[in-house]
Amino acid sequence: MDFKDYYAILGVSSDAEDKVIKKAYQKLAKKYHPDVNPDNKEAEEKFKEVTEAYQAISDPEKRSKYDELKQNYDAWKKRGGRGEFDWNRWQARPGEGTQTRTMTPEEFAEIFGDRGFGDRGFSGGFSGAGDFSDFFSTIFGGGDPFGQSRSNRAARAQVGRDLELEVSVTLEEAYQGTTRLIDFDDKRIQAKIPKGVRTGSKVRLAGQGGAGYGGGANGDLYLLITVEKNSFFDREGDDLTTEVPVDFYKAALGGEVSIITLAGEVLMKIPPKIQAKAKLRLKGKGMPRLENPDQAGDLYAQISIVLPREMSADEMDDLRALAERYHN
């Protein structure tokens, strides 16, 4: 049986800290993962090797046993390696293999990141992991690098990873609801985007995420929504604000103006002597509420007063007289 130098396999020193070991494994596993190197047997074997090394020296108990074995093996080699090395002393006790640590999806996400490998996204499985080497199985017990025995590995279903994709919509599309034809991971998906979405809303497409393994369900695809800025309306939550120009006479005497809303034009009453920047509320003329699209926020019309472009001399005289009376 050949000795395996797990530190050399990961390219770290024998006194490396845990975070250094994890970083080294992260780099190598990303490089050799079968999802990145499809149908590449050499890369698959390398992935198995670095995963086995990480499994051995990332676990404190296994690392302690391995370090002691390595010291004895190195000393035997320095003495010339005469005779056979006594592997029996280091052989795992019966049942020791059942203590193999399983790498959880959370730990894998910590090591590889939430987005996985590049634009494709990580598919969520440990494809190509295979069995431990004879060396590992002898020293630490049987199993595979992810805590599954040969007999039950196929039965361990693994759900695919959830993925995210950024999608932009206009304010009008957010008001009405819309659809998007999305080309993603060699799939074409027609996605329905509901009324009332906001920037930061997530639209779940069940089963459209990473592929499951061993009969496990696919993960979900989440559309991360950005609502584009609108030149006519400002949005705050489900409420909208728009600027409404009102001529000087109507602002002073009152009247009606036509207001553009996302549902079309409506007439709004202007009370006499309204001030610039005053806001009038049109109830229910804002955005549909995402949680209950039958209800909606409000539209606020912010008044801007527009002076007449042309005034006669008599009108200017009347205005001066009015101003004098007002200031006196």
Fold of 163-227: HSP40/DNAj peptide-binding domain (2.60.260)
Please report which helix (H) or strand (E) contains residue 267, including its range.
Answer: strand 264-270
User: Per-residue pLDDT for 103 more than 60?
Assistant: no
Burial 71-83 (b: 16+ CB within 10 A, else e): eebeebeeeeeee
Contact criterion met (CB below 8 Å) for 147 and 103: yes
| E strand segments, 82-215 | 163-169, 178-184, 187-193, 202-205
- The whole-angstrom separation of Cα 52 and Cα 56 is 6
Q: Mean pLDDT across the stretch 34-59?
A: 89
Q: Does residue 130 carry a pLDDT above 60? A: no
> What is 6-155's CATH topology?
Helix Hairpins (1.10.287)
**CA dist., res. 285 & res. 300, Å (int):** 9
More confident residue, 249 or 142: 249
Q: What integer best gives the mean pLDDT of the chain?
A: 84
Q: For residue 257, list its beta bridge partners.
A: 268
Res 100: pLDDT: 47
pLDDT score of 225 = 97
Residue 19: predicted pLDDT = 92
Does residue 118 register a pLDDT over 80? no
**Closest alpha carbon to 132 in 145, 121, 122:** 145
- pLDDT tier for residue 125 given thresholds of 50, 70 and 90: very low
Q: Could you read off the pLDDT of 199-243 as tens digits, one per residue?
A: 999 999 999 988 876 677 889 999 999 999 999 999 999 999 999
Do 245-327 and 163-227 have the same topology in CATH? yes
| Beta-carbon-side half-sphere exposure of residue 86 (alpha carbons within 13 Å) | 4
Q: Where are the alpha helices (DSSP H) in the chain?
A: 6-10, 18-32, 41-57, 60-78, 105-112, 134-140, 171-176, 248-253, 313-327
Where along the chain do its domains lie? 6-155, 163-227, 245-327
Measured CA to CA in angstroms, residue 282 lies from 147, 158, 289 at distances of 62, 52, 16
pLDDT for 145 equals: 44
Q: Tokens 């020293």 label which residue?
A: 139
Contact 311, 322 (CB under 8 A): no
Residue-wise over 266-293: b if at least 16 C-beta within 10 A, else e?
A: eebebeeebeeebebebeebbbbeeeee
pLDDT digits (tens, 9 = 90+) for 265-322: 999 999 999 999 999 999 999 999 999 999 999 999 999 999 888 888 888 888 888 8
- Is 86's pLDDT higher than 50? yes
CB atoms within 10 A of CB 14: 15
The number of beta carbons lying within 10 Å of the beta carbon of residue 142 is 17
Instruction: Over range 166-182, report the average pLDDT.
Output: 97
* For residue 183, pLDDT beyond 70: yes
CATH class of the domain comprising 245-327: mainly beta
Looking at the predicted structure, is the pLDDT value of residue 171 above 70? yes
- Could you count the other beta carbons within 10 Å of the beta carbon of residue 245? 10
pLDDT tier at 113 (50, 70, 90 boundaries)?
Answer: low
Q: Round to whole Å and give the CA distance between 235 and 213.
A: 43
* Residue found by looking up tokens 């459209």 in the block: 208
Q: Are 32 and 45 in contact (CB under 8 A)?
A: no
Length of the chain: 328
Which pLDDT score, from 0 to 100, does residue 92 have?
79
pLDDT for res 141 = 76
